[in-house]
Amino acid sequence: MDHDHQRSAHSLSGRERPILSAHDQIVRALALQILSGAIRPGDKLPMEADLLDRFGVSRTALREALKTLAAKGFLNVKTRVGTRVTDPGEWNFFDKEVLSWQVAGGMNEAFRQQLAEIRRAVEPAAAALAAQRRTADNLLAMREALERMGRETTSEYGFAQADLALHLAIGAASHNPMMRSVASVIEAALLEAFRLSPPTRSQTLHLETVAAHARIVDCIEARDGPGASQAMLAVIDAGNQRIERERAASDV
């Protein structure tokens, strides 16, 4: 697993809490308002003077923050017309920060379903490709992540890190660089799943989850593409079903 993957896996733990710069604070605050609907598509942002007063930053910092949001598809900035929030269809949900903001702001049922649909479309295909193209080093990375999952019987964060590392190792084994584009989608989905229903909360669930992931790796090692695809689909669906059961129980 490369260093980018290691950083992604560590970030899932929530143990790294860097102090945000003025730029990042503005970007995050406005993004959360947009994602939550507090500022809706088509709305104009408040006047520059009002934003400067609210955030207490320089005009340069504010304008750079708005450029960042525009680059992520959130804003349409036009001179003498104003800055408007764009349609959600233009927001870049494959952006790691955008997904982290969505998770931080709370994911609704529609967004959970959309994440599941993307994972079901891409990850089984990645597993099938991994079965065809995996190398000895790829298998080693997968087995190491799987072994970590087996060791992490009590730590929610430790298990989540290992789980993410395994999924990223499978994506890397597909040897399709575009598969890495969904790394943030996987991370966001796993973060939400572990928040709602951590497999470490019971020994039975922990063992079942590790065994289900082991089946994916076994199929990849055996170069069984269809089997790897089906095993990956089973893991994704099991996670989604746990979330739905948790939500149903909390609504009672």
Amino acid of residue 39: I
Q: What is the mean pLDDT of the chain?
A: 87
Does the pLDDT value for residue 204 go beyond 80? yes
Q: What is the C-alpha separation between 110 and 103, in angstroms, rounded?
A: 13
Q: Tell me which of 231 and 197 has the higher pLDDT.
A: 231
Q: Which among 7-21, 83-97, 209-223 has the top mean pLDDT?
A: 209-223
Class of the domain covering 22-90: mainly alpha
Does the pLDDT value for residue 157 go beyond 50? yes
Considering the chain, tell me which residue range(s) the CATH 1.10.10.10 domain(s) occupy.
22-90
Task: Give the CATH architecture of domain 107-251.
Answer: Up-down Bundle (1.20)
DSSP classification of residue 241: H
Q: How confident is the model at residue 14 (pLDDT cuts 50, 70, 90)?
A: very low
Confidence at residue 146, expressed as pLDDT on a 0 to 100 scale: 97
Listed range (96-100, 135-139, 212-216) with the worst mean pLDDT: 96-100
Tracing tokens 């609210």 back to the chain, one arrives at 54
Q: What percent of the chain has pLDDT over 90?
A: 58
Does the pLDDT value for residue 3 go beyond 80? no
- pTM confidence score: 0.80
Exposed, middle or buried, 125 (CB in 10 Å: 0-12/13-18/19+)?
A: middle
Considering the chain, tell me which residue range(s) the CATH 1.20.120.530 domain(s) occupy.
107-251
Does the pLDDT value for residue 226 go beyond 70? yes
